[in-house]
Chains A and B, each alone.
Chain A
Amino acid sequence: MARRTKHRPPTLTLPQLEERVERARREGRFQQALELAKQLNREEATPANRERLLNVYLERARQLRTQGQTRDARTVVEAALPIIGDEAPWLERAAEELAAGGHAAPALRLLSSLPTSPLHARVLGHAADAAVRQGAAGRASLPENLHASFDLILQAFRQLEAGQDDAVRQTLQGIGLQSPFLEWKLLLRGLQAYYLNDDTRAVDNWSRLGVDRLPARLAAPFRLRIDPAFLQAQSPESQLLLRQQGEKHQGSGLLPYLRAVQAALGEQDIVKAFSQAGTALPALRQEAPHLVPRLAACFYWAIVDFGDPSDIKRYQRLFGTPADDPEFYRMDALVFDARGMATEVHEAWQRYEASVAANPAAWPGDQARRVRALIWCHLGRNAGSIPDAAQIKKLPKFLRDHPDRPEPLKPPAEKCFENSLKLDPDQLETHVALLDHYREREHKKAEPVARQLLKQFPDHLPTLQWLSDLCLKRKDHAEGLELAQRALNGNPLDRRLRGKVSYAHLLIARAHLEANRFDEARAEYQKALTFHEGGDPFDIHCRRAVCEFKAGNVEGAEQILQEIKARGTPRLPFAFAMTVETMRVEVPRDLRKRFEMEFSGVLAEPPVAEGVESALSLAEAYEDAGVNYRGQKAHWKKLLAYVAKVPASAYTELSLESVCRHLLNLDDKKTLRKLVAAGRKSFPKSPHFPFLEASSYVLSNPDKAPIWKVAPLLAEAERLARESPTDERAKAMLEIIDRQRQMLGLGGMGGPMGFLEDLFDQFEDDDEDEDE
């Protein structure tokens, strides 16, 4: 049989040994570090190695202490003492470690040779903690001069428990500021304040406790409940542990059951939650009956969000039947609302409405009537969310003919709103919802509805604005201005409304100009200037100049042009405005040529960013106003070609964003997408560039928008918008993103194309089948 040789580990060099010691220390393997440090010190007894060894002894002792092995910790410290000798710093550290482990007597013996050591107080403090922790038996572990203070602390605890608050105060006066029991005094004072609901004083006392002392640990569960800063400073694990400790000793016996309900609802295990609630309810009805309806509300909405019909019976068994919803029709309706099931919503709410009509007692006074009106308004919106016959005709064929396309609802939206207004003619919400319904469909009934709304609610701002815009669009300038002015009168600080009034005056000025009523035109231009908001009103001055040219007042016109130039208006927007305005109005041909040449001259120069925003803004305003003249397309093309040549780097973030918006509205997708790509690179935190890129796909043709491109862009825009809490426009963007998603059926319940989501889900299921 072959002789087995004993495996000997390779011999380590001193540097290798040292490195292993340090690695073991870093990794918290202090026992191994200790063995290695001993070996290192044996092989090379240098001061550095000795120091390392002593450090490792104390680290190992601390490790054992924190693991609760205080006797073993003491053994380790005492093993280090022969090496420490009489070196004061090491003696102090060893004494402190012993004291922290509750070994006060040996700690004090070590310090007896160091009477002036500042550690005496700390060691005595730890000794006090260890003694109190043992109760009456701990007295013997303390020096005799501490026995009296020890007795006072125990006495104070007994008095506090018995409710003898004056006696507690008296007793604690015997503990001085230098006493090792001072922290216990603070704990007791804090507890006294806490029991008397004086949280401020409790926190004030406890905030002075040393974290390494026992009183701080005992105060922690109570402090967690009343000190928000202390709570926030704890890790989630500590919070949970301390909360459990606090609830065990201070909380109602119901708390564990309620926590179990909370956990079950968090996991959407509603059956389990009902079971726990059932156990807790009798006691809750005794202890805090006003909390029962609140608990019922939690379950009510849990059923709405993720319950099923069988949960209604469970709810009824525990909480009874709601007085205002005895058949649970309202719950049904809310469930369908939450799931976006429009057809079922329509039926369920009608059932509830009929129930309210039949049993108005739950809605005293005229509440029943108003509630029914609200329900019909809700039904109107619901019906409006499904494409009606007219909208169905406009759907793409594959959606129009899709078997899952929901049928128009009955009664239709208009009838629902009508029912609502019959019950409550003064319900503004219904008037607005009806108007919105017609507006979205560009229905001819929108205007009469708007006028009726304004008869009842003359200051309703959105309607005033909408009707004003409508009038101005069809050249009913007088009424358009009157409505805009009314809106402004009710909101005099609203800059957008001032801008609208200014615009209305401009349109009226135009009408006068075309009729050669120059004085009237001049007056209107002045009013337009008065109400003009934001930026350089160069375009108004250009119109004034053209007016003067047309009136034959060349000198006056040239003066205005000089004033525009003196104000520093960039050449591009100025030349563009003059070109357009002279084309729109009958002025001498040479005048038109003059400004067209000036425009061409600017466009031929090296492209710069200056003035691009203003020029594009003006072009957009002309398009919105329906301005149309011979040669317009060519001018727009030239302007956009110029803009396409301006490098993205020439813009600031805000101006690039503004230029992109204008390009979106002018439908120049090519340049827009080039600039937003640059914007996303240069300004990666801005949500506006991905949003604009997504919009460039969605707005041009929602039905054909490439969802695989749009969805990630919207997601990125949303994420960045949420990360920009101070950007108000970013917040507003979140709503638009949601609407765009709904438009595409990309998520969010309901919406006219909500069923599109189900359609795509179906395709995904089919793909999975193929893979199998």
Chain B
Amino acid sequence: MADPYEVLGLAADSDDEAIRRRYLELVRQFSPEHHPEKFAAIRSAYEDLKDVTTRLRHRLFKAGRRESVEAIIEELACRSQRRRLSLETLLSTLRSP
């Protein structure tokens, strides 16, 4: 599960208008009929961020709650530059994990 700002792809200082605009863009792209899970995630993220009060409530009671070490590992793995390996190194995977 991801941070609502991440789900909507927004910076943490986004205002009401930017959040609503982005929300509408995303629900057009991910309709509930064709992308039910993604839609639900977008909707939930919007409910957490739609105005100042809900954003503050999120920050007070929930911020970071959905963070996970798995997501951090995933991002780190994706960001790591893909090293070019020799044939010998590749074959070494067959010898040991």
Contacts and interface: CB of A to CB of B under 8 A. Distances in A.
B79 interface: yes
B90 A429 contact: no
Contacts of A640: none
A287 B72 CA distance: 13
Interface in B50-97: 52-53, 56-57, 59-61, 63-65, 67-73, 75-77, 79-80, 82-91, 93-94, 97
B91 to A, nearest CB: 6
Given A246-B77, A363-B56, 16 more contacts: A132-B87, A135-B88, A135-B91, A158-B86, A161-B84, A245-B97, A250-B83, A262-B69, A287-B76, A294-B71, A297-B64, A298-B67, A370-B52, A370-B53, A375-B60, A429-B57
Contacts of A195: 82, 84
Nearest to A249: B85
Contact of A301 (B52, B53, B64): B64
B63 to A, nearest CB: 7
Contact of B82 (A154, A162, A197): A197
Interface stretch (A72-80, A251-259, A584-592): A251-259
A459 B48 CA distance: 21
Interface in A310-350: 324, 330, 334
Contacts of A247: 77
A157 B88 CA distance: 10
A301 B1 CA distance: 14
Nearest to A367: B56
B83 to A, nearest CB: 6
Given A297-B63, A301-B67, A374-B53, A259 B73 contact: yes
Contacts of A244: 97
Contacts of A135: 87-88, 91
11 contacts: A132-B87, A161-B85, A249-B93, A258-B73, A262-B69, A294-B67, A297-B67, A298-B64, A298-B68, A300-B64, A370-B52
B77 A251 contact: yes
Nearest to B90: A218
A334 B61 contact: yes
A133 B94 CA distance: 10
B69 A265 contact: yes
A330 B62 CA distance: 11
B80 A249 contact: no
A118 B63 CA distance: 63
A291 B75 contact: yes
A252 B72 CA distance: 12
A357 interface: no
Nearest to B77: A251
B70 to A, nearest CB: 6
B88 to A, nearest CB: 7
Which of B53, B60, B79, B91 has its CB near the most chain A CB atoms (within 10 A)? B60
A250 B73 CA distance: 13
Contacts of A413: none
Contacts of B82: 194-195, 197, 250
Interface in B6-48: none
Contacts of B93: 218, 221, 245, 248-249
Contact of B87 (A157, A374, A424): A157
A355 B53 CA distance: 19
A646 interface: no
B56 A255 contact: no
Interface residues of B, number: 35
B76 A288 contact: yes
Contacts of A248: 93, 97
Contacts of B71: 294
A163 B65 CA distance: 42
A460 interface: no
Contact of A255 (B76, B83, B91): B76
B76 A258 contact: yes
B16 to A, nearest CB: 14
User: Which of B69, B83, B91 has the most chain A CB within a 10 Å cutoff?
Assistant: B69
A615 interface: no
A216 B91 CA distance: 12
Interface in A198-257: 214, 217-218, 221, 225, 241, 244-252, 254-255
A160 interface: yes
Contacts of B56: 363, 367, 370-371, 374
A217 B53 CA distance: 53
A647 to B, nearest CB: 40
A81 B6 CA distance: 65
A157 B86 CA distance: 7
A152 interface: no
Contacts of A158: 86-87
A728 to B, nearest CB: 13
B79 A288 contact: yes
A461 interface: no
A424 B90 CA distance: 63
Nearest to B70: A262
Given A254-B76, A375-B60, A295 B97 contact: no
A600 interface: no
B60 A427 contact: no
Contacts of B85: 161, 249
B77 A225 contact: yes
A46 B77 CA distance: 60
A251 B61 contact: no
Contacts of B97: 241, 244-245, 248
A291 B77 contact: no
A251 B83 CA distance: 9
A462 B42 CA distance: 25
A261 interface: yes
A248 B77 CA distance: 11
Contacts of B79: 252, 288
A161 B89 CA distance: 11
Contacts of B70: 262
Given A135-B87, A301-B65, A429-B53, A262 B73 contact: yes
A374 B57 CA distance: 7
B76 A217 contact: no
A334 B59 CA distance: 12
Contacts of A157: 86-87
A265 B67 CA distance: 13
Contacts of A367: 52, 56
B7 to A, nearest CB: 14
Contacts of A246: 77
A194 B82 CA distance: 8
Contacts of A217: 94
Interface string A145-181: 0000000001001101111000000000000000000
A694 B77 CA distance: 50
Nearest to A290: B75
Contacts of A197: 82
Contacts of B53: 370, 374, 424, 427, 429
A249 B87 contact: no
A245 B63 CA distance: 34
A377 to B, nearest CB: 9
Contacts of A294: 64, 67, 71-72
B69 A133 contact: no
A251 B67 CA distance: 21
